[in-house]
Amino acid sequence: ETGVTQSPTHLIKTRGQQVTLRCSSQSGHNTVSWYQQALGQGPQFIFQYYREEENGRGNFPPRFSGLQFPNYSSELNVNALELDDSALYLCASSSEILAEGAHPAFFGPGTRLTVL
């Protein structure tokens, strides 16, 4: 059991709507990453926040945006929802980004988003 929590657990939206997903990092972690895991696939990197600034982005359109707050919690916002956005959205936290690479990421349980 990690200290990463996500809300809500499940969410159903319709096409064109907007959604906000939330994540609380593990204590002491200042880096938050978001991943999209479609059914039968591995997680795909959306973006990462480090000390409240976006620090790396995957191949996702601008309608995917995020925020990180001073307490290192984070939000993922998706505008103009499409059917293909239906997926499990995972938040992962880790400690300082170092030049030599990553510290292990600790994942939350995810938010299951269904777009109808």
Partner 1 sequence: AQSVSQHNHHVILSEAASLELGCNYSYGGTVNLFWYVQYPGQHLQLLLKYFSGDPLVKGIKGFEAEFIKSKFSFNLRKPSVQWSDTAEYFCAVNARAGGGNKLTFGTGTQLKVEL
Per CB under 8 A, residues contacting partner 1 are 2, 4, 31, 33, 35, 40-45, 48, 50, 55-56, 58, 90, 92, 94, 97, 99-110
Q: Report the residue number, 15 or 103, with the smaller CB distance to partner 1.
A: 103
- Minimum distance, C-beta of residue 74 to partner 1, in the bound complex (Å): 13
Q: Report the residue number, 78 or 92, with the smaller CB distance to partner 1.
A: 92
Rounded CA-CA distance 13/44 in Å is: 21
Chain Cα centroid distance, residue 111:
9
DSSP letters of 23-65? EEPPTT--EEEEEEE-TTS--EEEEEEETTEEEEE-S--TTEE
Cα dihedral: 105, 106, 109, 114 (round 10): -10
- Minimum distance, C-beta of residue 77 to partner 1, in the bound complex (Å): 20
Q: Report the residue number, 6 or 115, with the smaller CB distance to partner 1.
A: 6
- Minimum distance, C-beta of residue 14 to partner 1, in the bound complex (Å): 27
